[in-house]
Amino acid sequence: MTLIPLRPGALLLALSASLLPLIASSAPAAALADPVPQWHHHRHQHTADEISRFLTAFYGDHGPSARDRSQRISPQLKEKQAYHPYADVVLCAQGTPQDITVGPATVAKGAGVGWATVTTSWASGATDTFTAYVRLDSRPIALDDVICAG
């Protein structure tokens, strides 16, 4: 008997042709027709509680650490900061606040985003508020954007 050497591509094609009937018979037709893997449909999205905990830890009492600023904000927010070098876009202010309070988070699943109002208190007695946004599917969780109150 003479063996004919098969190229790797030909072998793969031969194996896949022989396995296709087996796969098709054991899987529901709808699963084969769905171009998005099933795990994608059930991917975890951050909850309001997770977002509140993240923002509270991120902002702390006096603002985020240098490490959090470099590792826990979105590329979009880093770019925003680069365009505004004389402002702190993460805190919507200059300087270090005396205290920071994060309000309850709201989640809009349809928009894929959650947010909370952040209030900063200053030595002058003034307070400022802004809205901090987190994408629900961010991995790991990260600050996506900040909109200053005015």
Please write the tens of the pLDDT for every residue from 24-55.
444 444 444 434 344 444 578 999 999 999 99
Is 57 within 8 Å of 51 (Cβ atoms)?
no
Residues 82 and 109 in one domain: yes
| pTM as predicted | 0.71
- Regarding whether 141 and 73 lie in a shared domain, the answer is yes
Identify whether residues 70 and 106 lie together within a single domain. Answer: yes
The pair of three-digit structure tokens given for residue 19, joined into one six-digit string:
């396995």
Please choose, from the candidates 52, 62, 51, the residue with its C-alpha nearest in 3D space to the C-alpha of residue 93.
62
C-beta of residue 139 within 8 angstroms of C-beta of residue 72: no
104 and 139 in a single domain? The answer is yes
Q: Are residues 31 and 55 in the same domain?
A: no
Q: Which domain holds residue 33?
A: 8-41
Claim to verify: residue 56 and residue 116 sit in the same structural domain: yes
Domain count, the chain: 2
Both 64 and 98 in one domain: the answer is yes
